[in-house]
Amino acid sequence: MSTSAAPADAGVLWLAALQRALGRAAHDVKDALNGVSVNLEVVRSRASRADAPASAVAPYADAAAQQLERLTTLLEAVLALGRIERAPTDVGVTLRRVAAVCGASNSSADARVMVRETSVGDARTSVTGDAVRLALVAPLLEAVIGRKGESREAVICELAGEAESLAVRLRSDRPVLMPSDAAEVLRAAGVRWTESANELSIVFPRA
Amino acid sequence: MKQAKILIADDEAAITTGLSAILEDAGYGVEVVADGQKALDKLTVDRYGVVLADLKMPKLDGLTLLSELQQRQIPTECIIITGQATVDSAVQAMQQGAYDYIEKPLNAEKLNRLKALIPKALDKYEVQQKNRELASKLEGLTHYGELTGQSDAMRSVYQVIEAVAPSSASVLILGESGTGKELVARALHQKSDRSKGPFFALNCAALPKEILENELFGHEKGAFTGSTNEKAGAFEMASGGTIFLDEMAEMPTDIQVKLLRAIETRQIRRLGGKREINVDIRIVAATNKNLQKAIVDGELREDLYYRLAVVEIDLPPLRERADDIQLLANEFLSRFSQQNGKSITGFEDAAWEWIMSYHWPGNVRELKNAVERAVIMSRSSTIGPSDIIPRHLRSGDGMPAPLTIPVGATAAEARRQLVLRTFASTSGDPARTAKMLGLPQEDVRSELLLLLNGAGDASPVSAPADAGVEASPPRVARRQEPVTTPARATSKKPSAKKGR
């Protein structure tokens, strides 16, 4: 199995992008934690009353469970993205994790992130893990973050497979671009992309 | 009173559902909105004692909501819930008037803190709400008890009366003669829990020492020659109510000692008596004296002053209540017309000009007497300047009435006052005024118009005591040395003759 050589600073750029994404995700983590603790407090308080019917407690237990699930998904994604990726990297798995972290909204103006997957079979690529993550996070963050006075709609992420390559398409209501600071190292890492109208198509060679 | 509601503004349904359940379980009425704009809309049409607002919300974030609440002066206490507890956002929230802020996640400890904060915030809201209601009740008020006035100065007095009346604190009313000190005392009594008890007023300056002491404390049979019966004093008679001691600074010092003891112990002893009598009394005192000077001169005991002046109410002189003069004059006109069986409809313009420009050293009492006299003297359906201007202030007998212009007054002010006073002295004859002053009639008219439109100070010039008007120290800071000049500027030789 051959892997393309990535420039040394792909890891540095990836860590910077991860830091930015985590900063944004912190708010959602706190919100989910908040949801758990507040609803558990209702459960604890009402359950201690002898006359409390189950219906007075159940909705809050459900809500706490839902928030815990939301928290778990987010934390799993964050932890996985923080780990050193073993080669070869699975583009589909990475996309889902990146979407979970980048989709944690930090502002009401931010776009939602939706992932649509088609069956691509083996989604492993020869590009290094750091470069795959950088190639997905860098444009997705740019597409998600709403600017003051302009709120954004959803960003749709689709994974498609060709014989020799895997393509991740990012579509939005406005242009989605590959940030210029990441472009050089990504090209050197073997990532290709095309920008058209409101779509960015990122192509990774199959492993 | 119905407890104020709580509004939760947060787009996280999982949080708002739980939080509202916690607060409802604690007995609060709670409503929830999902964004800042909806919160603002709700707060605009309904009253909420406390708003729990997330810092990050759609449409309007927590800080912007807070800013809008301040700008629109919407009464509520805002607690910001923040997931981004940076020092900056917390400081900004507090600077913008947030009651407090709590950092997410709301664990058990922070929820307990929130539960402790809410009743305090609601208390603050309730207190401020009461103050707002009081201010709004007093706004537009022209009468309060027997007091009349709609000026800011009088509304401030009403506010103090309203606040202090329900307490049992002693009150000292300061003000010039004729400002209505007894009316304030009556209002304090009427607005207090003692209103069903007696109100007893005593003028300390009007009675010789022995009689004053007897009036205050009463006497036992045989206490002095001729005291064939026992007599209860003012303290006993007013027990359960209010005693008003007017001109208290005139009270002899040995009676002041007894008064101080009565205030401190709530007990009195009649003259010639041996037993202590319990009295339940609220004392309201009044004076027109400079109390600091009276204390320094040994005329007033300092300890008594501090006992009586728990709350001080400073009654403004009429010259500082220009807004009230017209209201009072019309009210007196209506009252005295009715009492005298006359159909007087109002004041002539020239009479108004004099009324509004005269400085009323005798205050409301002088205005009341002037209007009563004018009503009695008037032979027409309106009051003219000759009816209202007292004889000693007219110059019809060739004697110029002097006027005083403070050093530092502008030439324009001096000219305006000169025109006005001369106009008044001619019983409102602009042609004669112009002739006397050596000015074109147009100039006289324009000066009078300026005054009529409120451009002139109503009382920058004070009449001297020798003009027959009660002299009184100016209350407003006017440190300039006054220069006395005759009203008729054309008179080259001011008469050495004093006022008539």
Report the C-alpha dihedral over residues B107, B109, B110, B112, rounded to 10 degrees. Answer: 120
Does residue A46 sit at the B interface (CB-CB below 8 Å)? Answer: yes
Per-residue pLDDT reduced to its tens digit, B377-405: 888 999 988 888 877 666 544 345 667 77
CA-closest candidate to residue B98, choices B129, B133, B64? B64
Does residue B22 sit at the A interface (CB-CB below 8 Å)? Answer: yes
Residues of B in contact with A60 (CB under 8 A): 17-18, 21
Listed by number, the residues of chain A in 50-109 with a beta carbon closer than 8 Å to a beta carbon of chain B are 59-60, 63-64, 66-67, 106-108
Looking at residue A198, its pLDDT comes to 87
Of B22, B35, B83, the CB nearest to A42: B22
Amino acid identity of residue B285, one-letter, is A
Instruction: Please state the separation of Cα A6 from the chain's center in Å.
Output: 22
Q: Which 3 state secondary structure label does DSSP give B312?
A: strand
Does residue B26 sit at the A interface (CB-CB below 8 Å)? Answer: no
Does residue A153 sit at the B interface (CB-CB below 8 Å)? Answer: no
Looking at residue B86, its pLDDT comes to 62
Residue written as tokens 């001691």?
Answer: B245
Looking at residue A146, its pLDDT comes to 66
Name the residue in chain A with its Cα closest to that of B59.
A108
Does residue B97 sit at the A interface (CB-CB below 8 Å)? Answer: no
> Would you call A34 and B104 a contact, using CB atoms and an 8 Å cutoff?
yes
Contact A13, A134 (CB under 8 A): yes
Cis peptide before A59 (omega within 30 of 0): no
Looking at residue A9, its pLDDT comes to 78
Name the residue in chain B with its Cα closest to that of A65.
B14
Count CB pairs under 8 A between chains A and B.
75
Residues of A in contact with B59 (CB under 8 A): 108
Does residue B14 sit at the A interface (CB-CB below 8 Å)? Answer: yes
Looking at residue A110, its pLDDT comes to 73
- Sign of the four-CA dihedral B253, B254, B260, B266: negative
Q: Is the ipTM of this complex over 0.85?
A: no
Distance to chain B for A22, nearest Cα, Å: 13
> Would you call A41 and B12 a contact, using CB atoms and an 8 Å cutoff?
no
* Alpha carbon distance A128, B158 (integer Å): 80
Quote the tokens at residue B164.
Answer: 């202090």
* Alpha carbon distance B29, B48 (integer Å): 10
Residues of B in contact with A46 (CB under 8 A): 21, 25
Does residue B365 sit at the A interface (CB-CB below 8 Å)? Answer: no
Looking at residue B139, its pLDDT comes to 66
Per-residue pLDDT reduced to its tens digit, A125-144: 999 888 999 999 999 988 88
Quote the tokens at residue B187.
Answer: 């209002």
Q: Name the E strands within B114-214.
A: 143-144, 147-148, 171-174, 199-203
Does residue B12 sit at the A interface (CB-CB below 8 Å)? Answer: yes
Name the residue in chain B with its Cα closest to that of A27.
B83
Looking at residue A106, its pLDDT comes to 59
SS (H, E, C) B187-233: HHHHCCCCCCCCEEEEECCCCCHHHHHHHHHEECCCCCCCCCCCEEC
**Low-confidence residues of chain A: pLDDT under 70:** 1-8, 105-109, 146-152
> Would you call A106 and B56 a contact, using CB atoms and an 8 Å cutoff?
yes
Q: What is the pTM of this model?
A: 0.49
Contact B416, B447 (CB under 8 A): yes
> Would you call A30 and B83 a contact, using CB atoms and an 8 Å cutoff?
yes
Amino acid identity of residue B312, one-letter, is E
Residue of B16, B25, B65 for testing the chain A interface, max A β-carbons within 10 Å: B25
**Low-confidence residues of chain B: pLDDT under 70:** 1-3, 84-87, 136, 138-140, 392-402, 427, 451-500
Of B14, B58, B84, the CB nearest to A27: B84
